[in-house]
Amino acid sequence: MNILYLLIGCSIVLALIFLAAFFWSMNTGQNDDMHTPAVRILFDEDKPGEVDS
Amino acid sequence: MDTQVLVTEKCYHCGTEAPGSSYVIDDKKFCCIGCKSVYEVLSSTGMCSYYAYNDNPGQAQIQSVKHLDYLDEPSIISKLTDYTDEKVSTVTFYVPAIHCSSCIWLLEHLHKFNPAIVHSRIDFLKKQVFITFRNKELSFKKLVILMISIGYEPLISLQDVVKEKKDTVNRDLIKKIAVAGFCMGNVMLLSFPEYFGMSSYEVQFRSLFGWMNLAFALPVTFYCGREFFTSAWTGIKHKHINLDIPLALIIAVLFLRSAFEIITSSGPGFTDTLTGLVFLLLMGRWVKQRTYSHISFKRDYRSYFPVAVTVIGETVEKSIALEELKVGDRTLIRNNEIIPADSILMKGDALVDFSFVTGEAAPVRKVLGEIVYAGGRQLGEAIELEVVKPVSQSYLTTLWNNEAFARGETQGKNFNDSIAKYFSVVTLIIAFSAGAYWALSLDSERAWTSFTAVLIVACPCVLSLSTPFTLSAVLSLFDKHLFYLRSPHTVEQLARIDTLVFDKTGTITSPDTAEVNFTGELSSEEKVLAASLARNSSHPLSQKIIKHLGSGQYMPVSSFTETPGKGIHGWISGNEVRLGADYVREHGNLDGTATSHLEINGNYKGCFRIGQFWRPGLKSLFDELSADKELHLISGDNEADRKKLSMLLPAGSGMHFRQSPLSKLKYIEDLQKQGKNVMMLGDGLNDAGALKQSDAGIAVTDNINNFSPACDAILNGKSTSLLPAFIRQSKDALKTIRMSFVISGSYNLVGVYFAVQGLLSPLLAAVLMPLSTISVILFTSTLTRYYAAKNKLS
């Protein structure tokens, strides 16, 4: 059963990594605007004047 | 007469109906010169993808000459920019025109218009654009001009709303929730073996698990739970019992008892309850914060004033920042500019629109030497004024600085805090008597366990959660019906209302559905002529006249001129047409209603009389409200409408005319002194004082972004008829909260029954606490929905 010590340690370290990742995302403002990036990703790269309607 | 009628078509840029428009380029039709010029700018830079993402993505362009010279002043620039060094500057603009994905695309490709723009980014929901630009190559003023030329004029006001606006949700809080959630998950996991019982070879883990749980409880108590302690401490210092005091007490007791049990190896502790409790409480706070702010409510007079004014010096005209304006300065106010400070008219023909200050719709003519109050908007030619009072002492600002505005945010104690007092007292009495009982029975261990257990189990977390959850459900329900509350507490105020005071102009009259009457006779051809001419003007009166004429056919207009405040003039297929207030004044009489006279080829045809029109459903609204509430009406206008109003309003309602902003405020105050809970419905800055003074001040507006004074709620004009339903729903919401207290109270009783005997197991606490919380949240949300259906609000 001593393997439990290792497993618990691993699981907590893993969870801490995710927590740290979340903190990083908060601090860099990735969660500040939840709407615009979703729209932005759908824009085509620069193709000036190509589109007509 | 040559009637050259064209088919109905939409403007390629903004989608406005533009039949027979003469603005055509690349086979595309535009409704006005503004839209056309935006298209020209875009097509010349190869930015027509703008039109590919959405059909008619633009906004109708209202042509107006802007004086942006003040944007060259370094002192003003430094105030507006977020950051400046020798090479680059960053600035955040609030652009109200942002509304679709095309806007995002265009504004994020600003660098194509000018390579000096390094970077631009949009926050769509906040309608903000962050721009980084090289300040050596592109001046601030040119940047603003560029934005205006593509149809996205930034809103620059003295109180820069952009910078003072806080993040809607506090980042810190979210981090705390993340930590609490993380610790809770781990503690739960490590607590399971204890609940299910450990076999003999697993017992070696017991103390490890205990210590780890304690380690997880540390950040939860001291980092995540710190707010509860600080808030409780300020409560104690001010001798005011708030809900955070019992919460802080419980968190402290939970932590101390857990630490004690784990360190002395006498038990598993309550760390799971502790972490779960803090997590849920923080979630409640988050819900509360999120529902708080989606509209910027806090604006004061400064946001309506310009950033800078033109001052005429000895030799040159110079733009200076508003706060540098001194008594004796001679200012130049151009067409459509706002008068920044109380001044004397020195030169020019002043026709001032005071609708802002007094609510009076017709502009006022001022003669030389007369005092012109701040807040008026000059229509017509440029005038020169000498400042007699500094901005901070002007008529408008005095009103804003009235006590009513200085009053703190917290308007009286809310229901929750008053409950918290009794709750804390009762809990402490039970805890002490249970502890004392066992101490007297000489069972000191039980005395300690029962004392702490009572405190733990009598958790008021439901008190602190059911309120935000219920109120936020109500708030989002109101949002859906275009009724925006400033804070959840407003719901409690709404439920208590017994007296309603209505303002007239813009509140019970609708600016959109003004009644237009034409005195005289017009042939259908003449109607087409008048409509065609009016269509070229952006003046609101012209729009109403077009609606009234409803001809549906328009002809091209040549050599069109618009003299602001006077009228419009143009040639249509050989006919000279004039429309306006002043051209042919001698034919008409002015009796307060806005009028517009029509002249074709020098012959006077008659005049359009634009009267105010009541919002639909007003009669039934008043009847419904008057069933159990008192109604009053106050207006800044004259008594012209008294007769009509007395037919609408139920008998016995108070009616007062010619009220100044200050007397409106006094009126509300007097009603409140009679012990009434007053709701004030107004529309403008002029009744802002009254709105603020009332128990629930509601601004009725037809354009949410247009106007949001310091009120408790903003109501879209379309939803006025739903007002009784809103009040009923608020009452029901409070009922729901009270019922949820009963439910959580019964859970507490069960818990206390075990706790006083010192028999509360950690497992029971860990199950009872979330169970009561979740059932109460389910209960409140279901009930809110039920009431919404009953009140026909769903």
ipTM of the assembly?
A: 0.84
State pTM to two decimals.
0.69
Q: What is the DSSP letter of B677?
A: -
Mapping DSSP onto H, E and C, the string for B412-458 reads CCCHHHHHHHHHHHHHHHHHHHHHHHHHHCCCHHHHHHHHHHHHHHC
Residues of A in contact with B55 (CB under 8 A): 53
> Nearest C-alpha of chain B: how many angstroms from A50?
7
Give the Cα separation of B195 and B202 in Å (integer): 13
pLDDT at B181: 94
Question: Would residue A32 be called left, alpha or beta, if left means φ above 0 and alpha means ψ between -120 and 50 degrees?
Answer: alpha
Candidates B48, B182, B212; nearest CB to A49: B48
Candidates B53, B109, B205; nearest CB to A4: B205
pLDDT at B684: 59
For B675, counting Cβ atoms within 10 Å of its Cβ (0-12 exposed, 13-18 middle, 19+ buried), the class is exposed
Residues of B in contact with A36 (CB under 8 A): 104, 121-125
Cβ atoms of B351 and B332 closer than 8 Å: no
DSSP string, B31-45: SSHHHHHHHHHHHHT
Contact criterion met (CB < 8 Å) for A40 and B47: no
* Mutation to test the A interface, candidates B10, B100, B104, most A Cβ within 10 Å: B104
Nearest to B492 by CA among B461, B476, B468: B468
Task: Report the DSSP beta bridge partners of residue B344.
Answer: B371, B386
**Which residue is associated with the tokens 């016995």?**
B652
* Mutation to test the A interface, candidates B124, B166, B207, B216, most A Cβ within 10 Å: B124
Contact criterion met (CB < 8 Å) for A36 and B52: no
Contact criterion met (CB < 8 Å) for B49 and A52: no
Structure tokens at A6: 């290792």
For B394, counting Cβ atoms within 10 Å of its Cβ (0-12 exposed, 13-18 middle, 19+ buried), the class is buried
pLDDT at A20: 95
> For chain B, how big is the Rg over CA atoms in Å?
32
Candidates A4, A36, A47; nearest CB to B122: A36
DSSP string, chain A: -THHHHHHHHHHHHHHHHHHHHHHHHHTTTTT-SSHHHHHTTSPS--TT----
> By percentage, how much of chain A surpasses pLDDT 90?
32
B575 pLDDT higher than 60: yes
Cβ atoms of B544 and B514 closer than 8 Å: yes
List C-alpha distances in Å: B312 to B108, B331, B387, B592. 39, 6, 12, 35
Q: What digits encode the pLDDT tens for the residues B625-668?
A: 888 888 888 877 667 677 777 777 777 777 888 777 778 888 88
Give the Cα separation of B537 and B541 in Å (integer): 9
Beta-strand relationship, B678-682 and B499-503:
parallel
Lowest mean pLDDT among B221-230, B242-251, B580-589: B580-589
| Average pLDDT score over residue span B182-190 | 91
Q: What digits encode the pLDDT tens for the residues B460-470?
A: 777 777 887 88
Contact criterion met (CB < 8 Å) for B48 and A52: yes
Residues of B in contact with A8 (CB under 8 A): 190, 212
Closest alpha carbon within chain A to B127 = A36
> By percentage, how much of chain A surpasses pLDDT 70?
81
Candidates B104, B205, B212; nearest CB to A39: B104
Contact criterion met (CB < 8 Å) for B185 and A15: yes
Residue type, B513: T
Chain B residues 94-113 with CB within 8 Å of chain A: 101, 104-105, 108-109, 112
Q: How many CB atoms lie within 10 A of CB B611?
A: 14
Give the Cα separation of B689 and B711 in Å (integer): 9
Q: What digits encode the pLDDT tens for the residues B401-410?
A: 554 444 444 4
Cβ atoms of B45 and B53 closer than 8 Å: no
Decide if A37 touches B, using CB distance below 8 A: no
B150 falls in which pLDDT band (50, 70, 90)?
Answer: confident
Give the Cα separation of B776 and B779 in Å (integer): 5
For B427, counting Cβ atoms within 10 Å of its Cβ (0-12 exposed, 13-18 middle, 19+ buried), the class is buried
**Which residue is associated with the tokens 């917290």?**
B410
B706 falls in which pLDDT band (50, 70, 90)?
Answer: very low
Residues of A in contact with B49 (CB under 8 A): 44, 47-51
Structure tokens at B350: 């002043």
Lowest mean pLDDT among B191-205, B397-411, B440-454, B520-534: B397-411
Contact criterion met (CB < 8 Å) for B202 and A19: no
Nearest to B161 by CA among B332, B57, B307: B307
Decide if A2 touches B, using CB distance below 8 A: no
Cβ atoms of B326 and B507 closer than 8 Å: no
pLDDT at B590: 41
DSSP string, B701-735: ES-TTT---S-SEEEEGGGGGGHHHHHHHHHHHHH
Decide if A32 touches B, using CB distance below 8 A: yes
Structure tokens at B71: 């944007």
The 3-state DSSP class for residue B220 equals helix
Decide if A23 touches B, using CB distance below 8 A: yes
Contact criterion met (CB < 8 Å) for B47 and A48: yes
Closest alpha carbon within chain B to A49 = B46
Contact criterion met (CB < 8 Å) for A40 and B108: yes
Give the Cα separation of B147 and B80 in Å (integer): 15
Give the Cα separation of B504 and B634 in Å (integer): 7
The average confidence (pLDDT) of chain B is 77
* Mutation to test the A interface, candidates B51, B55, B182, B198, most A Cβ within 10 Å: B182
DSSP string, B278-346: HHHHHHHHHHHHHHH-SS-----GGGGS-SEEEEE-SS-EEEEEGGG--TT-EEEE-TTPBP-S-EEEE
Q: How many residues does chain B have?
A: 794
Q: How many Cβ pairs closer than 8 A exist between chain A and B?
A: 74
Contact criterion met (CB < 8 Å) for B101 and A49: no
Contact criterion met (CB < 8 Å) for A39 and B124: yes
Nearest to B683 by CA among B724, B634, B751, B740: B634
Residues of B in contact with A1 (CB under 8 A): 201-202, 204-205
| Average pLDDT score over residue span B161-166 | 47
Nearest to B456 by CA among B281, B617, B303, B255: B255
List C-alpha distances in Å: B386 to B69, B329, B333, B335. 20, 6, 11, 17
The distance from CA B1 to its chain's CA centroid, rounded to whole angstroms, is 52
Q: What is the DSSP letter of B550?
A: -
Say which residue, B565 or A26, is predicted with more confidence: A26
Residue type, B316: V
Of B146-160, B545-559, B774-788, give the range with the top mean pLDDT: B774-788
Nearest to B648 by CA among B675, B621, B678, B682: B621
DSSP string, B445-503: HHHHHHHHHHHHHS-THHHHHHHHHHHHHHHHHHHHTTEEESSTHHHHHHHH--EEEEE
Cβ burial B213-252 (10 Å sphere, 16+ → b, else e): bbebbebbbeebbebbbebbeebeeeeebbbbbbbbbbbb
Contact criterion met (CB < 8 Å) for A50 and B205: no
Q: How many CB atoms lie within 10 A of CB B514?
A: 21
B730 pLDDT higher than 60: yes
